[in-house]
Every structure is written in structure tokens, then in C-alpha cells.
């Protein structure tokens, strides 16, 4: 067996083994057994990391082992791995965050009633996520895609005794289903169009046939791309299916870091990147539009939220929108770059918020206060001195996401913004300018709300001095991952051996060569695009530095120095209606309620009325009533005439005959003799013999 | 003379037979049966069946009839007068049926063209019957003797007292 | 007296009377008497057909009649034994009163 295949199998199956162990033997093994899961996660990270290292130092990997799963006549399916540089990079991201979250959870979840099961679910999630990354075909990816949905459901609903958690897990699952149905239909269409579902086969077929076959089926391919992208919309929480992600924050915070910040929600982006070569220009434009809307909407909503995790959730939605937009604009390498860096710093931010919540929760518990929400930023403040490591690492995370030079976020965000600028330059249409505008606006808002979060949490006066007294820094197993992730949020980790903080050239971009769009569009030509990015790079750097600085400066003014009367500002914003819009998350849930649930309920009532009143009561019961009437009439006929007269008459006749005839059968042989002779005589007379 | 004798005998047979089946006294019936049997023996004489006539008298009158009278006596503790015999209530139906049968058979008798061989009557039958019984009908003769033996044993077995 | 029909007629009468007796009598012995009448009617037929059928060799009608008489004797013996048994069991010889197997 090839060593690469062995590694891939181990990476896939080790988390599954951890899941099986914790689910089936967790109770017997006790809470110390979770260290086995942690060890498994770290071993998986070691395997994935060593593979990526070999690629980064040597030749790129293109290894696609597959085996037949089943075949039905001409129709057949294969299972296999798609091991290339993209998969390896994604694998390392997943394994890294997963391992750190495992470690972090040992402390964070200590004392939980389903401690072992929690780690089992983490294993299941990691297994599924690795499956998505390693899948060599859309079908295989779809299967793990659903498994990821399941484990996400299980983890969000980990504290299912809480009704909001149970509802959130249901909501997440159902909203994801909506996207997944589209994805499945899309897979079927793409199978029909390209004749293959393995990525390599799909690329080949599209490449070979683009000249003739797709001339007529370009539209169908666009539809397929759009539908598969629906899966990504669901998983990556893109508008309009983003509503589940903020609610998913009901899950344990490490889960939010792992699933709802770094990996699962990135699966949609990963899928879109994988699919990029076969997406048509129309589909790409659709993808980019969705991404731009989401980026802006998420950022705007994040501005006014008070729940620390919700701020991060909307921030995640916004950043995912960024990535999706980048893929749609052809900058899929930048998108994946941002995915990787974002996984680090967003995982870091979530774990930091978890650390804060954990500390606050314990402080509140110390005070026997179970009413105050430990996630509400208004209950925090002034924690910087109490939790220096958390503060420092979270500050680094905020700098990274805001796009400050030296940090990884700057490089990846800059690459995306350069992509939007290049697209706007290449595309003469007026709406092409909307993409860079949305991108830069979102970047500015991101910087603003991140520092709003930092200042509200760590600076200013403590909301409750008594609680503040009891806040302590988290233990090493929690701060360790924070420090590691903070270190990885520095730009140089992605650009080695380069150290220029303004240039993203490095091992990462070299390991991930720009993919070629195969559907044949001039503006999506690789050389063309690279040229455009190169030109746009300088202006993008300048602009993004400006907007990031502006956003941070505003946050400093508003929340650190408090030079602006916040109440007056909020009032002014309320007057123009913006504040409510943002605070109520742009009423998306309410719009769904009004446009989908309510009409649906109304439709249900109408259908119920038709079904019950009209169909059941009037028609069915009417038939019933008429049948009863007819039956009564028929019953009368049947009873009086048929039964009483005819049947009973025959009966009576027979009875009378029987009474008479009984005398013939008196048991007296001599009587029988008389009748026997009479019978014989009758025969004789009739036959004429006598 | 001979015709008159035949007619007398025939009348006696019919009359006594009628008496046999109608009288309510068993002893009378037995006596009437004796008359019938004698009459039949007379008919045999007219048919040139001398041996059979003798057998009829010896076996029927001398054997069977005595047996029947024994039966009557044994089954009625008081011998004589009160051995009344009542008939079944089906008498009218039986009478009708039997009368119809009689009518039918009589009609048949007269409608049938009987073939009559013009053969001289055998004067003495004893020799011929004796030869036939021991030659041609030897098997039947033996079977009949076995039958008689079985009947004798069976009757003795059936009639003997359970306790005796 | 020299015609077959006259004998057959007597035979018919005897047979019908015997049958009537078998049908109507209740006493077992009386029924037996009816049976004897029937047997005699048959015997008259045998002998008459032998006489007017021209069968002078071996006289089959006579032989047959002889066997019937033998059989009648055996039958009478057995029947009377049965009647006596019946009487011992039921204290009656009326056949219609011995109806233990009647439904």
C-alpha cells in the first residue's frame, strides 16, 4: 500500500475510532479517557502536517487512489481519495483546529454530564470533515457533507436540556437540509452534463468537451453550479441561509470555534473552490453576489450585537461571504488563503471568547448568580488585567481579522480585495464596482466591530466589581491553544521563507497554484487575472490599510475614549432606522416568518380546510351519509322482503316440510320398507315397465 | 275335478295367507300359516313336484312352523289367548303401496307374452334331484349343509342364557 | 291349472300379502311369518317356471326351491334366536319398541 494512502486512511479513520471509543466505552472508561481522543487528534495533526510539509518542501502531490464501490451495469460508483495540495492544506487546518479544540475542551467542558460523549462527537465531526476534504468525488463529499451536518446537529444540541439549544440544533439541521437538497440535485445535473462525479473526471470532461458539448449545455451547467453552490450556502451560512449560524452559538464555545468558525462553515468555501474549474461565468457571478451580500450583511449585523459569541458568529458569516465572493470573482486562491488564515484567527477569537465566558461563568457561579448572562458584553469590561493571556491573544486575533499588517488576515484579505479591484477594472459594467465597495466597506466595519468587542470586554470599568473580583485567567490547557493560534495568526507563518509583511508570496501560495477555470471565459483566464491582481495589489494595500485604520479609530473613539455620546449616536441611528435593522439582524428571521412560515401556515390551514371541511366532512362524510341512507333503504328491503318473506319463508316452508318429512324417518325399518317399495313402484311406473 | 281341486287349493292358500297377515292373534296366524304351507304343498303336487311337496310338508310344516309356534310360546309367558298382536300405524300406507304393487305385478303378468315349452311333465323327480344334488349341485349342497350347521350353532349361541 | 299364469298369480298374491305382513306387523314372529309367505311365493315361481319352461334335465327349479327351503329353515332358526334374545333384553318382541339406537 502506498504510504500516502496509508496516511490518508489513518487521518480519516483515527477520529472515527475516537468516536467509537467514546460513544461505546466512554461511560466505562471515565473522564480521563478523553485524553485518548486528544492524543488521536494530535496524531492526526502530525500525520496531516508531515504530509503538507513534504509537499511544501518538495513536489506538489497529485494522488488519486480509488476503488470500485459498486457497479450496476454501466452505472458505477467509486470510493477514493483526492490527495492534492489543496486537500492537504485544508486537512492541516482542520486537524490543527480540531486538535487544539480537543485540548481546550478538556478543561472547558470539565464536569459536563456528557463529557465523553462530547469528545465522541468531536471525533465524529473530525472524521466527517476529513472525509469532505479527502473525498475524490462529489457523491463521496456529499455523504460526508451530511455526516458533518449530523455531527454539527449533535454538538449544537449538546446541552439539549436547554430548549434554545435543542431548537438551535434543529434549526441548523433543517436550514442545512434546504441547501443540501439543492446540492444533491446539482450533483445529479452535473453528473448528467459531465458524465462523471469525481473531480478529476469532471475537470477532464469539461476541458475536453467545452468546445462542442457545452455550447448547448452551458445553461444547464450554470444551473448545476448554482445548485451545488446552494449546499455551500447552507453550510457556509451564506445569505439567505445564514440564519442558523448565530443560533448555533448555543453549542459549547469550543464547538463554535471548531465547527462554526474554522472548519465546517469553511467546507462550503472548500466545495466552491473545488468546483471553481467547472463553474460557468454566470454561476460565478451568482456566487460572487451572494458572497458580497453576505459579507456586508454579516458585518453590519455584528456591529450592534451584545452577545460576544453572536458578534463573532456574524463576523464569521461576513468573512465567509468574503471568501465566497473571492471565489466568484476568480480569486479562488485568495479565498482559500483567507480560509486558512481565518480558521486560525477566528478559532483563536472563539476560544478567547470561550475563555472569557468560562472565567465569567465561574465568577458568577461563585457569587451564586445564575441570572446574569456570561456571554453578554455589557456584563464584562475591564478584564484585561485579570486575564492577560486571553486579552493579548484576542487582541492579536482582532488585529488579524481587521487586516493589520504583520498579521495573516492582512495578507489574505488584501489578496481578496485586490481580486475585487481587478475584477472591477476588467469588467466595464457599473455593477462590477459594487464588489470592491462591498469588500472595503465590510473590511472597515469588521475592524470597527472587532475593536468594539475588545474594548467592551477588556477595557473600561467592570460592570460588576464583585464578579470582577473572582475572574481568573484560564488554566494552561486553555491558554496553550490560544497562544499557539495567536502565533499562527502572524503573517510570516504563511509566507516563509519570505518575511515582507506586505506581500503574500511564500510557501503557501506556491503550494496552491492558481486553478484554471475550464468553462472558457476570457476574464477568468489565469494569466489575465494574475496580471490584474498584480496591478491592483498596491492600491488594494493602501485602501485596505485605510479602511482598517478608520474602523479601528472609530472604535477607539466610541468605546475606548468614549468621546462620542453613544446614546445620542444610537438615537440618531435609530431615527434613520439603521440601528433597529442591524440589531434585529436585518429582520431576516422575521422575513422568513412573514414570507415563508406564515403563508405556509395559512396554506396549511387552507389545505386543512379543504381536506377536512370540504373533502372529509362534505365529500367523504357525504358519501358516507348517502351510503347510510341507501343502506337503510336496502336494509329494509333486505330485511322485510328478502329476509323475512323470501328467506324466512323458504325456511318456514322447509321447516314445515321437515316436520312432515320427519315422520318418514321414524327409525322404524318397516316404514322405510313401505317407502322403499313405493319408490321402487314409482320407478317402475314411470319407466313404463308395469 | 282336477281344476276344481286346484281352484280350491289356490283359494285356501290366498285366504289363509290373508289371515296370517291380518289376524291379531299370533296362534291363529301360526295355524293359518300351516294352512298356507299345506296349500303350497298341494300346488307343488299339481306342478309334478312330488319330492318338493313332501319336503314342504316335512320341513315347513313339521319343522319351521313348529319352530315358529315355539317362538310364540317362548316369548309370551302365558300361552294362549292373550298373545295379541297389534299392527303398525302405517297400515293404510302399506296397504295402498302393496295394492298398487299387486296391480302392477298383475298387469305385468298379463302383458308379458310367456314362452311355454311343450314338454311332458316329469313323472318322478326324486331320482333326478338325488342325482343332480350329488353331481351337478354337489358344491351347493355342501355349502347348504355348512350353512345349516352354522345356523344351528348361531341359533344355539344366540338363544342360550347369558348366565347358563 | 295347466297355465303358468295361474301359478304366477297365486305367487303374486302370496308375495303381496307377505310383504304387507312384513310392513305392518310389530311382533317379530309375525314378521317372520310374512317372510315365510314371500319365500313360498318365490318357490312357487321356481317350480312353475321349471314345469312350464320345459326344464326336465336336473330340474334346476326344484333344486333351487329345495335350497330356499333349507335356507328358510336356517333363517327361521336364527331369527327366532334373535327374537328370543330381543325378548330377554327388552321384555318385548315388538320390533318398534326396541329402539335403543334410534336418534
Q: What is the maximum alpha-carbon separation in chain B?
A: 61
Residue of A446, A257, A454 whose CA lies nearest to A350: A257
pLDDT at A575: 65
User: What pLDDT, on a 0 to 100 scale, did the predictor assign at position B68?
Assistant: 86
pLDDT tens for residues A320-348?
Answer: 888 888 888 878 888 888 888 888 888 88
Scan for cell 460508483, then name that residue.
Answer: A77
Least CA distance to C7: which residue of chain B? B43
Identify the CA nearest to B29 among candidates B95, B67, B102, B83.
Answer: B83
Return the percent helix, strand and coil in chain C, to nearest 5. 80, 5, 20
B106 closest CB neighbour out of C12, C71, C78: C12
CA angle A14, A20, A24 (to 5 degrees): 155
Question: What confidence score (pLDDT) does residue C103 get?
Answer: 47
Per-residue pLDDT, A26: 75
Query: Which CATH class name applies to C4-93?
Result: mainly alpha
Average pLDDT, chain A: 80
Preferred mutation among A668, A675, A676 to probe C, highest tally of C CBs within 10 A: A668
Bond preceding residue A240 cis, omega within 30 of 0: yes
Q: Name residues whose C-beta falls within 8 Å of residue A308's C-beta, 6 or more positions apart in sequence.
A: A353, A356, A357, A375, A376, A377, A380, A453, A457
Question: Three-class SS of residue C25?
Answer: strand
**Secondary structure letter of residue A523 according to DSSP:** G
Kindly tell me if the per-residue pLDDT of B15 is higher than 90. yes
A454 burial type by CB count under 10 A (0-12 exposed, 13-18 middle, 19+ buried): buried
**C83 touching B (Cβ < 8 Å):** yes
> Is the pLDDT at B79 greater than 60, yes or no?
no
Q: Do B68 and C71 make contact, defined as CB atoms within 8 angstroms?
A: no
Spell out which residues of chain C touch residue A662, defining contact as CB-CB under 8 Å.
Answer: none
Q: Cβ contact (<8 Å) for B108 and A668?
A: no
Does A670 contact B107 at a Cβ distance shorter than 8 Å? no
Separation of alpha carbons A580 and A574, rounded Å: 6
CB B14 to CB C13 under 8 A? yes
CA distance A685 to chain C (A): 17
User: Which residue of chain B is at minimal alpha-carbon distance from C57?
Assistant: B128
For residue B111, pLDDT beyond 80: yes
Closest in B75, B87, B147 to C26, CB measured: B87
Average pLDDT value for residue range A2-27? 82
Mean pLDDT over the full length of chain B: 83
What percent of chain A has pLDDT above 90? 0
Residues of A in contact with C96 (CB under 8 A): 668, 670
Shortest Cα distance from A652 to chain C (angstroms)?
Answer: 23
pLDDT band of A570, cuts 50, 70, 90: low
In tens, the pLDDT along A167-210 reads 888 888 888 888 888 888 888 888 877 777 788 887 777 777 66
Residue of C nearest to B46 (CA): C1
Best to test chain A binding among B94, B95, B105 (most A CBs inside 10 Å): B94
**Does A668 contact B104 at a Cβ distance shorter than 8 Å?**
no
Decide if B46 and C1 are in contact by the 8 Å CB cutoff.
yes
User: pLDDT tens-digit profile of A600-646?
Assistant: 777 777 877 777 777 777 888 888 888 888 888 888 887 787 777 88
Judge: C23–A674 Cβ closer than 8 Å, yes or no.
Answer: yes
Between chains, do B128 and C59 touch, taking CB under 8 Å as contact?
yes
Per-residue pLDDT 10s for chain C (103 aa) are 578 888 999 999 999 999 999 988 888 888 889 999 999 999 999 999 988 887 878 788 999 999 999 989 888 888 888 888 888 777 777 776 766 655 4
What are the E-state strand segments in chain B?
none
Rounded to two decimals, what is the model's pTM? Answer: 0.62
Cα distance between residue A187 and residue A196, in whole Å: 10
CB contact A687 to B (< 8 Å): no
Q: Is the pLDDT of residue B78 over 60?
A: no
Residue of C nearest to B5 (CA): C1
Confidence of residue A470 (pLDDT cuts 50, 70, 90): confident
Question: Residue A305: CA atoms inside 13 Å, Cβ hemisphere, count?
Answer: 24
ipTM of the modeled complex: 0.87
CB contact under 8 A, C102 and A667: yes
Whether A674 has its CB under 8 Å from any CB of chain B: the answer is yes
Helix axes C4-24, B91-111, angle to 10 degrees: 160
* Interface subset of B 7-66, CB within 8 angstroms of A: none
pLDDT in tens, A115-144: 888 888 888 888 888 888 888 888 888 888
Categorize the per-residue pLDDT at A381 as very low, low, confident or very high, splitting at 50, 70 and 90: confident
Is the distance from CB of A133 to CB of A49 less than 8 angstroms? no
Percentages (nearest 5) of helix, strand, coil residues in chain B: 75, 0, 25
- DSSP letters spanning A438-482: HHHHHHHHHHHHHHHHHHHHHSS--S-HHHHHH-----HHHHHHH
State the maximum Cα–Cα separation within chain A, in Å, rounded to a whole number.
Answer: 144
Q: CA A43, A44, A49 angle in degrees (round to 5)?
A: 100
The residue ranking higher by pLDDT, C96 or A456, is A456
Q: Is A445 exposed, middle or buried (0-12, 13-18, 19+ CB in 10 A)?
A: buried
> Is C12's CB within 8 Å of B102's CB?
yes
Radius of gyration (C-alpha) of chain B in whole angstroms: 20
Cell numbers given for A286: 451568482
Amino acid at each position: 500500500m502506498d504510504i500516502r494512502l496509508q496516511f490518508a486512511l489513518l487521518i480519516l479513520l483515527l477520529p472515527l475510532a475516537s468516536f467509537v471509543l467514546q460513544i461505546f466505552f466512554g461511560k466505562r472508561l471515565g473522564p480521563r479517557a478523553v485524553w485518548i481522543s486528544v492524543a488521536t487528534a494530535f496524531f492526526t495533526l502530525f500525520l496531516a502536517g508531515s504530509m503538507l510539509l513534504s509537499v511544501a518542501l518538495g513536489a506538489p502531490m497529485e494522488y488519486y487512489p480509488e476503488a470500485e464501490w459498486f457497479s450496476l451495469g454501466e452505472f458505477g460508483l467509486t470510493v477514493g481519495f483526492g490527495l492534492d495540495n489543496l486537500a492537504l492544506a485544508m486537512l492541516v487546518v482542520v486537524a490543527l483546529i480540531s486538535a487544539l479544540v480537543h485540548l481546550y475542551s478538556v478543561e472547558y467542558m470539565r464536569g459536563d454530564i456528557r463529557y465523553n460523549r462530547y469528545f465522541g462527537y468531536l471525533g465524529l465531526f473530525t472524521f466527517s470533515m476529513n472525509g469532505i476534504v479527502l473525498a475524490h468525488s462529489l457523491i463521496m463529499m456529499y455523504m460526508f457533507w451530511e455526516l458533518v451536518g449530523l455531527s454539527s446537529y449533535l454538538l449544537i444540541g449538546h446541552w439539549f436540556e436547554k430548549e434554545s439549544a435543542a431548537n438551535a440544533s434543529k434549526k441548523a439541521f433543517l436550514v442545512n437540509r434546504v441547501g443540501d437538497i439543492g446540492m444533491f440535485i446539482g450533483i445529479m445535473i452535473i453528473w448528467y452534463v459531465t458524465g462523471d462525479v469525481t473531480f478529476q473526471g469532471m475537470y477532464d470532461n469539461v476541458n475536453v468537451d467545452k468546445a462542442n458539448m457545452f455550447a448547448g449545455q452551458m445553461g444547464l451547467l450554470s444551473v448545476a453550479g448554482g445548485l451545488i453552490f446552494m449546499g455551500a450556502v447552507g453550510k457556509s451560512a451564506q445569505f439567505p441561509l445564514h440564519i442558523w449560524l448565530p443560533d448555533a452559538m448555543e453549542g459549547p464555545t469550543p464547538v463554535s470555534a471548531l465547527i462554526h468558525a474554522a472548519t465546517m462553515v469553511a467546507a462550503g468555501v472548500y466545495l466552491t473552490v473545488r468546483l471553481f474549474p467547472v463553474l460557468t461565468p454566470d454561476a460565478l457571478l451568482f456566487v460572487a453576489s451572494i458572497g458580497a451580500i453576505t459579507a456586508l450583511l454579516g458585518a453590519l449585523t455584528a456591529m450592534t450585537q451584545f452577545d460576544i459569541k453572536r458578534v463573532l458568529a456574524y463576523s464569521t458569516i461576513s468573512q465567509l461571504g468574503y471568501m465566497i465572493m473571492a471565489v466568484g470573482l476568480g480569486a479562488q486562491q485568495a479565498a482559500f488563503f483567507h480560509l486558512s488564515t481565518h480558521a486560525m484567527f477566528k478559532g483563536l477569537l472563539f476560544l478567547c471568547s470561550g475563555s472569557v465566558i468560562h472565567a465569567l461563568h465561574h465568577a458568577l457561579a461563585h457569587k451564586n448568580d445564575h441570572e446574569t448572562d456570561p456571554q453578554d458584553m455589557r456584563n464584562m469590561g475591564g478584564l484585561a488585567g485579570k486575564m492577560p493571556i486571553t486579552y493579548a491573544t484576542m487582541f492579536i486575533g482582532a488585529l488579524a481579522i481587521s487586516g493589520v499588517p504583520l498579521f495573516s488576515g492582512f495578507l489574505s484579505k488584501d489578496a481578496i480585495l485586490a481580486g475585487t479591484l481587478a475584477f472591477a477594472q476588467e469588467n466595464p459594467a457599473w455593477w462590477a464596482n459594487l464588489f470592491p465597495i462591498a469588500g472595503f466597506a465590510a473590511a472597515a466595519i469588521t475592524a470597527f466591530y472587532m475593536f468594539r468587542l475588545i474594548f467592551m470586554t477588556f477595557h473600561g470599568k467592570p460592570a460588576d466589581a464583585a464578579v470582577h473580583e473572582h475572574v481568573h485567567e484560564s488554566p494552561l490547557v486553555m491558554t496553550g491553544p490560544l497562544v499557539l493560534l495567536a502565533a499562527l495568526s502572524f503573517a510570516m507563518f504563511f509566507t516563509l521563507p519570505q518575511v515582507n509583511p506586505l506581500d503574500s508570496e511564500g510557501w503557501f501560495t506556491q503550494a496552491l497554484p492558481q486553478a484554471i477555470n475550464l468553462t472558457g471565459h476570457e476574464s477568468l483566464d489565469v494569466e489575465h487575472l494574475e496580471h490584474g491582481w498584480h496591478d491592483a495589489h498596491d492600491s488594494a494595500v493602501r485602501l485596505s490599510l485605510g479602511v482598517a485604520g478608520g474602523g479601528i479609530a472609530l472604535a477607539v473613539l466610541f468605546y475606548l475614549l468614549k468621546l462620542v455620546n453613544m446614546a445620542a449616536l444610537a438615537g440618531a441611528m435609530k431615527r434613520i432606522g439603521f440601528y433597529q435593522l442591524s440589531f434585529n439582524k436585518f429582520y431576516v428571521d422575521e422575513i422568513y416568518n412573514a414570507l415563508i412560515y406564515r403563508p405556509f401556515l395559512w396554506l396549511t390551514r387552507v389545505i386543512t380546510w379543504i381536506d377536512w371541511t370540504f373533502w372529509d366532512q362534505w365529500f367523504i362524510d357525504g358519501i358516507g351519509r348517502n351510503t347510510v341512507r341507501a343502506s337503510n333503504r336496502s336494509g329494509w328491503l333486505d330485511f322485510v322482503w328478502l329476509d323475512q318473506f323470501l328467506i324466512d319463508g323458504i325456511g318456514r316452508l322447509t321447516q314445515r316440510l321437515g316436520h312432515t318429512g320427519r315422520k318418514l324417518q321414524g327409525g322404524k325399518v318397516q316404514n322405510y320398507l313401505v317407502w322403499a317399495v313405493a319408490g321402487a313402484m314409482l320407478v317402475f311406473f314411470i319407466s313404463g315397465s308395469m | 275335478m282336477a281344476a276344481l281341486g286346484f281352484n280350491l287349493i289356490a283359494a285356501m292358500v290366498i285366504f289363509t295367507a290373508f289371515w296370517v297377515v291380518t289376524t291379531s292373534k299370533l296362534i291363529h296366524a301360526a295355524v293359518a300359516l300351516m294352512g298356507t304351507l299345506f296349500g303350497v304343498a298341494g300346488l307343488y303336487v299339481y306342478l309334478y313336484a312330488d319330492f318338493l311337496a313332501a319336503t314342504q310338508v316335512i320341513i315347513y310344516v313339521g319343522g319351521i312352523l313348529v319352530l315358529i309356534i315355539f317362538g310364540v310360546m317362548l316369548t309370551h309367558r302365558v300361552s294362549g289367548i292373550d298373545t295379541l298382536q297389534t299392527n303398525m300405524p302405517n297400515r293404510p300406507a302399506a296397504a295402498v303401496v302393496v295394492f298398487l304393487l299387486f296391480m302392477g305385478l298383475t298387469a305385468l303378468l298379463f302383458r308379458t307374452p310367456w314362452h311355454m315349452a311343450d314338454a311332458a311333465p316329469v313323472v318322478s323327480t326324486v331320482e333326478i334331484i338325488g342325482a343332480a344334488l350329488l353331481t351337478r349341485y354337489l358344491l351347493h349342497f355342501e355349502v347348504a349343509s355348512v350353512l345349516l350347521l352354522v345356523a344351528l350353532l348361531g341359533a344355539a349361541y344366540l338363544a342360550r342364557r347369558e348366565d347358563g | 291349472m295347466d297355465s303358468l299364469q295361474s301359478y304366477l298369480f297365486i305367487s303374486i298374491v302370496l308375495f303381496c300379502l307377505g310383504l304387507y305382513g312384513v310392513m305392518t306387523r310389530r311382533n317379530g314372529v309375525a314378521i317372520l311369518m310374512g317372510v315365510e309367505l314371500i319365500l313360498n311365493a318365490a318357490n312357487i315361481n321356481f317350480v312353475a317356471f321349471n314345469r312350464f319352461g320345459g326344464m326336465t334335465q336336473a330340474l334346476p327349479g326344484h333344486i333351487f326351491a329345495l335350497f330356499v327351503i333349507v335356507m328358510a329353515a336356517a333363517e327361521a332358526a336364527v331369527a327366532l334366536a334373535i327374537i328370543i334374545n330381543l325378548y330377554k333384553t327388552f321384555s318385548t318382541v315388538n320390533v318398534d319398541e326396541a329402539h335403543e339406537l334410534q336418534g
